[in-house]
Amino acid sequence: MSVVLRSAGLPQELFNQPRVLLTTEELFALWRAVSEISSDPAIGLQLGTETKPEHFDPIALAALSTGSFGEAMRQIARHKQLSCPEEILYDTDKDEWKIRFRWLLANDLEPSILTDVCFAWMLSIVRHGTGTRLDPLRIECARPRSYTKTLEHYFGCPIVFGVAHDAIVFRASDVNRPFITRNAELLAMLAPQLDEELKQRKGEESFVERVRASIQRKLTGRRPKMLDIAREFHLSSRTLQRRLQDSGSSFQQVLEEARHQLARHYLKNSVLELNEAAYLLGYEDASSFVRAFRTWEGVPPAHWRETQRTNAASLASPLTPQQEIAILSSSGCMVEADDGVGQDCRSTLSSANGVHASDAERDHP
């Protein structure tokens, strides 16, 4: 890896961080270095291919949880910029469905290896979701002709070189291909979390909220330590605690708030058993979770969940604006009087340990 970093002109300690942030130019340089050093010209196809669902990131998992190929692409397009300043464009006519990636802050063409990674990643999702070896109609490449046979074998279709834009083209009918991985329950959990992180990326959250979101991302079966969170913000533990104290809070308080919000989300929006929710929230056993939840809400989690379900059922009849505000307040949401925009109690997910492209103009933690 040191050879790759040196070739890309990047610092040797780059990957010592818990989360790696790069400008688009730096990301392109990194991928070019990988391509130049690798003896395999099609290394991008290998790096972009994923066959095990447990290795997919939350964005891909949300896509796999939708009902069809078209829904999956819309889901990915919505949340793609959580990982990099890139958008997904697609055009459909009566016969073809063309999909391409566009880097929003790029000054030059993306490296061919990165195009291979993106297209292989997308095809991995499609083939896993449909449960078939779905092949595109063709691949369009802006690059000169190279390793044609390898590309044709991998994608199972003709490769057209020297076009204006890189694109992967499917049949128009493929938009409606059903996904055997459809999971409405998982999608109901992941999509709001990703939406919440999109909102946070727009700089609408305070430092305390950013710390809370970071804790929630790491609450996956273990309790994150203060040092873990401090590293993500490039701070010492002492500085993190001081900044929280300056905001009238503390790490322990934010941790409990993060757990509380996630607990409400899990109980209200999923069929998780109490012991499963306890595990996801970093508790050693269900009894510890029950005690904590009783402290937060004054009732055991099972009783609270039943109450929420009863309230949800009552929403079938029309409500007055006052009743709507009362229900939102009881579920832990804030309502702005002027424009109706509120922030609800939902968690955030991020591929926090991956390599992400940002840009200096974008203020990411």
Residue 29 lies in a domain: no
Q: What is the pLDDT of residue 361?
A: 35
C-alpha 64/C-alpha 51 separation (Å) is 13
Residue 31 lies in a domain: no
Residue 24 has pLDDT above 80, yes or no: yes
Stretch 83-89: mean pLDDT, rounded? 83
Q: What is the pLDDT of residue 314?
A: 54
Across 28-42, 47-61, 211-225, 266-280, least confident range:
266-280
Residue 69 has pLDDT above 60, yes or no: yes
Across 53-57, 118-122, 335-339, least confident range:
335-339
What does 227-245 look like in DSSP terms, one character per residue? HHHHHHTT--HHHHHHHHH
Residue 15 neighbours by CB under 8 Å, 6+ apart: 1, 5
Q: What is the pLDDT of residue 265?
A: 78
- Among candidate residues 144, 191, 188, 172, the one with its CA nearest the CA of residue 41: 144
Q: What is the pLDDT of residue 353?
A: 33
Q: Is the dihedral of CA 6, 351, 128, 198 positive or negative?
A: negative
Residue 12 lies in a domain: no
Residue 351 has pLDDT above 90, yes or no: no
Q: What are phi and psi of 40, to 5 degrees?
A: -105, 115
Residue 356 has pLDDT above 70, yes or no: no
Residue 6 lies in a domain: no
Of 147, 176, 205, which closes a domain? Answer: 176
* Contact indicator for 144, 162 with CB cutoff of 8 Å: yes
The pLDDT tens digits of the residues spanning 238-279 come to 999 999 998 899 999 999 999 998 888 778 756 678 888 888
In this structure, the answer to whether residues 317 and 206 fall within a common structural domain is yes
Across 62-71, 148-157, 313-322, least confident range:
313-322
Across 43-57, 158-172, 229-243, 322-336, least confident range:
322-336
Q: What is the pLDDT of residue 213?
A: 82
Q: What is the CA radius of gyration of the chain?
A: 23
Q: Which one is predicted more confidently, 44 or 349?
A: 44
Q: Which one is predicted more confidently, 356 or 281?
A: 281
In this structure, the answer to whether residues 261 and 312 fall within a common structural domain is yes
In this structure, the answer to whether residues 215 and 323 fall within a common structural domain is yes
- Give residue 360's pLDDT band: very low, low, confident or very high (50, 70, 90): very low
What is each CA distance from 194 to 96, 151, 216, in whole angstroms?
A: 30, 33, 12
Q: Which one is predicted more confidently, 39 or 140?
A: 140
The pLDDT tens digits of the residues spanning 90-148 come to 888 889 999 998 887 776 778 999 999 999 999 999 999 999 999 999 999 989 999 99
In this structure, the chain runs to a length of: 365
Percentage of the residues of the chain whose pLDDT score is greater than 90: 42
Q: Please state the domain count of the chain.
A: 2
The pLDDT tens digits of the residues spanning 99-110 come to 998 887 776 778
C-alpha 64/C-alpha 56 separation (Å) is 9
CATH of the domain at 250: 1.10.10.60
Q: What is the pLDDT of residue 313?
A: 59
Residue 201 lies in a domain: yes
Q: How high is the mean pLDDT of the chain? A: 81
Of 159, 176, 193, which closes a domain? Answer: 176
Residue 22 lies in a domain: no
In this structure, the answer to whether residues 169 and 189 fall within a common structural domain is no
**DSSP H or E run through 92:** strand 86-92
Residue 317 has pLDDT above 60, yes or no: no
In this structure, the answer to whether residues 189 and 167 fall within a common structural domain is no
Across 39-43, 92-96, 267-271, 358-362, least confident range:
358-362
Domain limits at 274? Answer: 185-334+343-354
Residue 119 lies in a domain: yes
* Contact indicator for 32, 116 with CB cutoff of 8 Å: no
Residue 340, sorted as left (phi over 0), alpha (psi -120 to 50) or beta, turns out to be left
Strand partners, 140: 160, 167
Residue 352 has pLDDT above 50, yes or no: no
In this structure, the answer to whether residues 162 and 221 fall within a common structural domain is no
Residue 295 has pLDDT above 50, yes or no: yes
The pLDDT tens digits of the residues spanning 169-207 come to 999 999 999 999 999 999 998 999 898 888 777 665 678
Q: Is 69 exposed, middle or buried (0-12, 13-18, 19+ CB in 10 A)?
A: buried
Q: Is the dihedral of CA 329, 333, 335, 336 positive or negative?
A: positive
In this structure, the answer to whether residues 219 and 244 fall within a common structural domain is yes
